Amino acid sequence: MKYKPLGRSGIMVSELCFGTMGFVSRTDRSSSERLYRKAREAGITFFDTANIYSDGEVEEYLGSFIRDERSEVVIATKGFGAMGSGPNDKGSNAKSLRLALEGSLKRLKTDYVDIYFLHQYDPLVAEEELLRTLERFVTSGKVLSLGVSNYSAYQTMKLNAAAARLGLPRIDVLQPMYSLAKRICEIEILPMAKGEGLGVISYSPLGAGLLTGRYSHEDKPATGRLVENPMYTKRYRKERYFTLAKEFSAFAESLGVEEATLATAWVLANEAITAPIIGPTNEDQLRLSLKALDFEITKEIATRLDEIAPPPPPAHDRSEVDR
Ligand SMILES: NC(=O)c1ccc[n+]([C@@H]2O[C@H](COP(=O)([O-])OP(=O)(O)OC[C@H]3O[C@@H](n4cnc5c(N)ncnc54)[C@H](OP(=O)(O)O)[C@@H]3O)[C@@H](O)[C@H]2O)c1
């Protein structure tokens, strides 16, 4: 396992981040703890969670797992999502975020989080207001570094421009979706990250299970996030995703590598990515993700994968300007 600086924050993190979204919903406490320990044994020091995962219960699990080794791990959590039905139980306004952070710290049984992410853009909150809230988090020592997830490049740059203008703490880390099936962040987000020195921890490297072989058959399986969870069914509803999955599986088979390993290795090979966030729900899945660390994406493999899952168009139409 290699350790890399997380953008300009300089916080050192393992090159794989372990996503905990499946704790509680997919794995009970003891199997979640076993997965956590296995990840630690493999050298993973970086864990991603969110207040909304299983209504806070995931943070409670994670908090008890890290209790005796808080200084050895880097914890990212998120605020914005609804934690209740009240009007200020969600959002990025000063009140909602304060309640969100306090709740996360309590459940994680820690007095600080290493990275605090805004889970989504909130159009209701003015930039200066948002930055002043985040400044309080940082100056109180409750948050070390700030991140945004599911923000566009424009929203991120606008926030950081305001931070520079006002002399307030800036965003250092991004958390976009990124896999062979979802390459939109290649257009603006990853170039911005490279140019601005931002850390990137990307989520859903397996397309939430699409790129695991499970969806490569003519008939979709009866179980799995893409057929059971309405948000994911909608996200991957287009037939082309299943065609892609089928071709991807055939290619992985021809290389003699498991799909989950190939898909994770492809994300890892992108130099703009600091760490993909993996989401294994059992030890065998974890093993396949870890194998990606030793699998090289050669030029030939990358070219074939570009044919199976073509890169998105450039950010503007003057694409013949190729320097
Ligand atoms: N910021 C955000 O908005 C956001 C959104 C989503 C996720 N995340 C973060 O990113 C992490 C990873 O996201 P993700 O769960 O979508 O990642 P993913 O790796 O794309 O999908 C993981 C799913 O794929 C299946 N899987 C994993 N390894 C497999 C294998 N070897 N063979 C077959 N199936 C396999 C599992 O499904 P089964 O459980 O059905 O076995 C697992 O739930 C989350 O835990 C969370 O921390 C963040």
List pLDDT tens digits, range 96-105. 999 999 999 9
Name the residue at shortest CA distance from atom 30 of ligand 1. 285
Mean model confidence pLDDT for the chain = 95
- Six-digit token string for 176: 């976009």
How far apart CA 89 and CA 97 sit, in angstroms, is 9
Is residue 229 lining ligand 1, measured as CB closer than 6 Å? no
Q: What is the pLDDT of residues 159-211, one digit of tens each?
A: 999 999 999 999 999 999 999 999 999 999 999 999 999 999 999 999 999 99
The predicted model scores a pTM of 0.96
SS3 216: coil
Local confidence band at 215 (pLDDT 50, 70, 90 cut-offs): confident
| CA-206 nearest atom, ligand 1 | 20
Amino acid occupying residue 190: L
Is residue 149 lining ligand 1, measured as CB closer than 6 Å? yes
Extended beta strands in the chain, E state:
3-5, 12-14, 17-19, 46-48, 74-79, 113-118, 143-149, 171-175, 199-202, 275-278
Give the Å distances, CA to CA, from 278 to 87, 287, 302.
Answer: 33, 11, 20
- Six-digit token string for 126: 């003015």
Local confidence band at 322 (pLDDT 50, 70, 90 cut-offs): low
| CA-204 nearest atom, ligand 1 | 20
- Looking at the predicted structure, is the pLDDT value of residue 321 above 60? no
How far apart CA 289 and CA 43 sit, in angstroms, is 13
Top-confidence residue, 303 or 320: 303
Q: Mean pLDDT over residues 60-71, rounded?
A: 98
Q: Mean pLDDT over residues 7-22, rounded?
A: 97
- For 3-175, CATH gives 3.20.20.100
Residue 28 zone, left/alpha/beta (φ > 0; ψ -120 to 50; rest): beta
- The pLDDT of residue 319 is 67
How far apart CA 134 and CA 151 sit, in angstroms, is 16
Q: Mean pLDDT over residues 307-315, rounded?
A: 94
Q: Say whether 53 is catalytic.
A: yes
Domain boundaries, the chain: 3-175
How far apart CA 149 and CA 198 sit, in angstroms, is 13
- Six-digit token string for 213: 């072989």
Is residue 63 lining ligand 1, measured as CB closer than 6 Å? no
Residues in contact with 287: Cβ distance below 8 Å, sequence separation at least 6, in sequence order: none
- The pLDDT of residue 288 is 98
- The pLDDT of residue 226 is 87
What is the 204 CA–ligand 1 centroid distance (Å)? 5
- The pLDDT of residue 196 is 97
DSSP 43-90: T--EEE--TTGGGGHHHHHHHHHHGGGGGG-EEEEEE-S-SSSSTTSS
- The pLDDT of residue 317 is 83
